[in-house]
């Protein structure tokens, strides 16, 4: 009994940490929660948990920023991403996602470190639909291959001179659609673990609390502060990707 309580307590703690990060920044649930879940959950359990919990948080928060989303801009990300997901999944039998995650982690640390040292990020004012499509496609491939669908869209949106709600709404909607596509594949291939409902039951209260606190903090920051938080969160995500290799 005590072992079971400790097990589900660790699951809840991971969900709380991931929800706090996602409530504040709009992404990073997986990298944050997996640092805790890796101690008690197998990869077969952790992967669908990240997808489902991330999707639930998107559904729970995106309504508050829905009006800020410019669907004339976001659709091209989504189309590119949906085209890219099957390609990423197709790569799995031929390549190990582990070294790729290490490469992405190192790149994120260098990218964020450079802008943190410089004290500011560049700002893009024009519209580049070809790049939007490429970012969406790359995010889809990375999501299907390694579960990192949000990295490229988050970086690209953070460079735009958009209000924080539009930035967050764009990459959060993208992540939600990619997670929905991944979850559909999991269900179709019968890859959900048998204990998924108890795991979600243990995670749900913690996610509600964490998301509420994180989103309340998000509401108190301005556009410039949000860009800085994104930069630091991306850097922390890079460290999180490198830690398993150390």
At 164-179, the pLDDT tens digits run: 999 999 999 999 999 8
* Dist CA 60 CA 217 (whole Å): 16
Kindly tell me if the per-residue pLDDT of 212 is higher than 90: yes
Encode 204-242: b = buried (16+ Cβ within 10 Å), e = exposed.
eebbbbbbeebbeebeeeeeeebbebbbebbbbbbbbbb
The pLDDT, as a whole number, for residue 238 is 87
pTM of the model as a whole = 0.85
Kindly tell me if the per-residue pLDDT of 96 is higher than 80: no
Kindly tell me if the per-residue pLDDT of 160 is higher than 80: yes
Tell me the CA end-to-end span of the chain in Å, nearest whole number.
Answer: 34
Which pair of structure tokens corresponds to residue 36?
A: 């805790």
Burial class of residue 158 in the structure, from the number of CB atoms within 10 Å of its CB (0-12 exposed, 13-18 middle, 19+ buried): buried
């Amino acid at each position: 009994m005590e072992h079971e309580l400790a097990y589900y307590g660790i699951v809840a703690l991971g969900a709380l940490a991931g929800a706090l990060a996602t409530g504040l920044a709009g992404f990073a649930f997986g990298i944050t929660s997996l640092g805790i879940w890796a101690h008690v959950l197998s990869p077969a359990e952790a992967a669908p948990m990240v997808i489902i919990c991330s999707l639930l948080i998107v559904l729970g928060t995106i309504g508050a920023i829905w009006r800020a989303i410019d669907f004339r801009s976001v659709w091209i990300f989504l189309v590119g991403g949906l085209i890219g997901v099957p390609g990423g999944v197709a790569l799995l039998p031929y390549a190990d996602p582990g070294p790729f995650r290490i490469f992405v982690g190192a790149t994120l640390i260098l990218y964020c470190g450079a802008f943190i040292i410089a004290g500011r990020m560049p700002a893009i004012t024009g519209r580049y639909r070809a790049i939007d499509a490429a970012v969406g496609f790359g995010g889809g491939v990375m999501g299907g291959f390694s579960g990192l669908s949000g990295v490229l869209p988050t970086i690209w949106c953070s460079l735009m001179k958009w209000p924080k709600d539009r930035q967050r709404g764009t990459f959060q909607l993208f992540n939600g659609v990619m997670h929905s596509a991944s979850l559909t594949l999991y269900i179709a291939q019968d890859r959900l673990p048998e204990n998924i409902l108890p795991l979600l039951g243990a995670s749900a209260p913690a996610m509600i609390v964490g998301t509420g606190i994180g989103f309340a903090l998000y509401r108190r920051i301005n556009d410039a502060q949000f860009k800085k938080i994104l930069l630091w969160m991306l850097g922390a995500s890079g460290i999180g990707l490198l830690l398993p290799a150390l």
